[in-house]
Structure 1
Amino acid sequence: MTDPITPAGMAALRARYTHLFTTERPAIVETVSWAAGNGDRSENGDYIYGRKRLREIDRELAHLSKRLAAVTVIDPAGQPDRTRIFFGATVTLADEDDQHQTLTLVGADESDAHAGRIAWNTPIARALRGATVGDTRTVTLPSGTRSLEILAIRYD
């Protein structure tokens, strides 16, 4: 099975790939070509750094290419059952200490815990799958067991 990703996540992956391929890589190739024409390459910083950066870009392009082929776009706005937590849901939770937090369940390529976007396959996301407003779910994390109550569910 392929990994899910939101339309915004897919657009970000494609934009990164396009930027690297059409802007950054050609500029580095031009710099390396110019530096190679200057003679001695062993102490030529532009040449050495350029070749290193070119390898980094090529690795990232290969990774992005594999990710683009391995993901399936799922639009959360098209979710027919908006009463349960599925991929793309934005969920407001309360823990035992009545601390509220809002999380959005997204694909692994677009997760950012600091921004409240967690990967669909994380322990918290797995525990929340299928829950409805008012349900309480217990999650075992490295920091210990937490009980989370679902306060709200929305799909943007």
Structure 2
Amino acid sequence: MNKAFTKETDSDDDEDLPASPLPVSGKNYITPQGYERLRGELLQLIDIERPKVVDIVHWAASNGDRSENGDYLYGKKRLREIDRRIRFLTQRLEIATLSDPSIHHGTDQVFFGAKVTYCDSEGLERTVTILGIDEAISSLGQISWVCPVAKALLKSRVGDEVTLVTSHGTQVLEVLKVDYPAADSMAG
């Protein structure tokens, strides 16, 4: 059959990718900064990215044969990606529970938003910041509050030893330092 007569579908590459799962409690904790970053991305997609791609697709469609029009095909695919991300961000922001870690500034107990330095069983020191599922970036030393290390550390205090159970066995972690941002450093 000639490609010109085939129905074009939006289902190509349109399977919704699974999002980071929420815990059983259904809470989606996020810092005010993480919320603003995701909200900024959403607004950027809605106000700038999507209209640009729509213009490109409209222009490419006006050039005739869509079956071999790379600008059109790529534009449609990019539009689906943008729409998928907009849906994801909208859903996550709607269920977000803001939690400001600066309210714990000066305490030595580990709560959401804490920057924690700990030592593992082998003497290796690590520093992690416990953040929301949708805002944690592992390459920056940030971990989700639902990951095993964070779960082990939460509610502990400086000097406490906590047990981390992994697929490789059990480890003891010692909490060395707990920091929270000051309220004035949070704006921005």
TM class by smaller structure:
over 0.9
Corresponding residue of 1:75: 100
Q: Does 1:26 align with 2:51?
A: yes
| Alpha-carbon distance between aligned partners in 2 of 1:52 and 1:89, rounded to the nearest angstrom | 40
| Alpha-carbon distance between aligned partners in 1 of 2:45 and 2:29, rounded to the nearest angstrom | 23
Greater strand proportion: 1
Paired residue secondary structure (1:108): coil
| Alpha-carbon distance between aligned partners in 2 of 1:46 and 1:32, rounded to the nearest angstrom | 7
Residues 2-151 of structure 1 mapped to structure 2, 5 A cutoff = 2-79=27-104, 82-151=107-176
Task: Give every structure 1 segment of 4 or more consecutive aligned residues whose post-TM-superposition deviation is greater than 4 Å.
Answer: none
* TM-score (ref. length: structure 1): 0.95
| Alpha-carbon distance between aligned partners in 2 of 1:62 and 1:6, rounded to the nearest angstrom | 21
Unaligned runs of 5+ in 1: none
Q: How many residues align?
A: 156
Q: Please, which moves more after superposition, 59-68 or 81-90?
A: 81-90
CA RMSD of aligned residues (A): 1.3
* TM-score (ref. length: structure 2): 0.79
Unaligned runs of 5+ in 2: 1-25, 182-188
Paired residue secondary structure (1:102): strand
Greater helix proportion: 1
| Alpha-carbon distance between aligned partners in 1 of 2:28 and 2:111, rounded to the nearest angstrom | 14
**Which whole-Å deviations, capped at 9, do the CAs of 1:76-101 have from their partners, x for residues lacking one?**
00127822111111111011221111
